[in-house]
Copies of this chain bind each other. A is one copy, B any other.
Amino acid sequence: MFKIGLLGAGRIGNVHAKSITAHSGCQLVAISDVNMASAETLAASCGAVARSTADIIADKSIDAVLIATSTDTHSNLIEAATAAGKAVLCEKPVDLDLSRALACQDVVAANGRPVMIGFNRRFDPNFAALKRAFDAGEIGKGELLSITSFDPSPPPVSYIKVSGGIFRDMAIHDFDMACWIFGGLPESVSAVGTSIVDPAIGQAGDFDTAVITLRYADGRIAVIKNSRRAVYGYDQRVELLGATGLLQAGNVLENTVTKTTTAGAIGAKPEFFFLERYMRAYEAEWSAFIGALQTGGALPVTLKDGVNALAVAEAATLSAKTGVPVALKDGKPVQP
């Protein structure tokens, strides 16, 4: 029975708290947050105790921490927690800055504790089924991967400003999906971004609509489409063309009801946002983390995976700004 500390009691911290308390192999003992009241409220509903982050990290009886704090604290907390001997599951992204993430990676290597990055989509049953079918050779060699990833509505511009930009904040999930499905980093990244949804997002130096093309050394191509606004909900689809077929993972719909009238046949929208769509994925993610701790087996998502996705995000950011493709070499973007 692993004892778990949860750092961060915001929206995503609340999601994780449920998975942790529902899991029979661990116990949620302590919760921290910059807002102590949030930590206390969540702790009360979970049979845990609200404590400071420093206390939780220092507590030798706690085996692992789940880091669900703001992105700017991730690297520091990963380093501190692993230095204190703890296993870590940290929300994505590792950091907004690739060199900081790389430094963190070195520290973690020295500390020798397992660190998993929370790329929840790998644990979505649909994407996981697509990946299994692909790995089983069901469509032969993969050639052209397409990821559609639209949010229902843009976050406030105040958030956009500190988000690191659409590529680091939103597309990073899709970059991880591409690296996961295709098994590694592309050799170059081309990104086109615009702010057609909301000019204020452009004025804040970011994009709300983007297409990123990843080119792999052996000729495979992945293309990612992002929008901050699909009014109908969270549009999350993956499609992979291979030598002997096509795999598609579609949206999860709100229900299976269709109404046909003179106006046509109307069915349900996709689940609204990540809490609805990926609830089962968050549970499976946590199970996989605890499972790896229990068996001592390999983590299904590593810190290296988090760093790789960030490297693609940095390349995409650079490409969208300069207007030219950006190569990746030794896991880092090459200034064009």
Contacts and interface: CB of A to CB of B under 8 A. Distances in A.
A308 interface: no
Contacts of A293: none
Contact of A144 (B218, B225, B248, B257): B225
Contacts of A184: none
Interface in A118-141: 125-126, 129-130, 133, 138-139, 141
A129 B254 CA distance: 10
A268 B258 CA distance: 12
Interface string A150-162: 1000000000000
Contact of A213 (B213, B252, B262, B264): B213
A130 B257 contact: yes
Instruction: Say how many copies of this protein the assembly contains.
Output: 4
Interface in A269-303: 269-270
A104 to B, nearest CB: 32
A215 B232 CA distance: 24
A83 B194 CA distance: 46
B269 A225 contact: no
B246 A221 contact: no
A132 to B, nearest CB: 9
Interface size class of chain A, counting residues whose CB lies under 8 Å from the partner chain:
35 or more
A266 B266 CA distance: 4
A24 to B, nearest CB: 8
A261 B241 contact: no
Nearest to A140: B231
Contact of A143 (B146, B196, B324): B196
A42 to B, nearest CB: 14
A245 B219 contact: no
A82 interface: no
Contact of A247 (B143, B227, B257): B257
B246 A259 contact: yes
Interface in A202-247: 209-211, 213, 215, 218-221, 223, 225, 227, 229-232, 235, 241, 243-247
A53 interface: no
Interface in A79-97: none
23 contacts: A126-B257, A139-B261, A144-B225, A146-B148, A190-B325, A209-B219, A211-B213, A211-B223, A223-B223, A231-B244, A231-B262, A232-B261, A245-B262, A247-B257, A247-B258, A249-B255, A251-B256, A260-B269, A262-B269, A263-B266, A264-B267, A264-B269, A266-B266
Closest 4 CB pairs of A and B: A196-B219, A194-B219, A245-B261, A250-B256
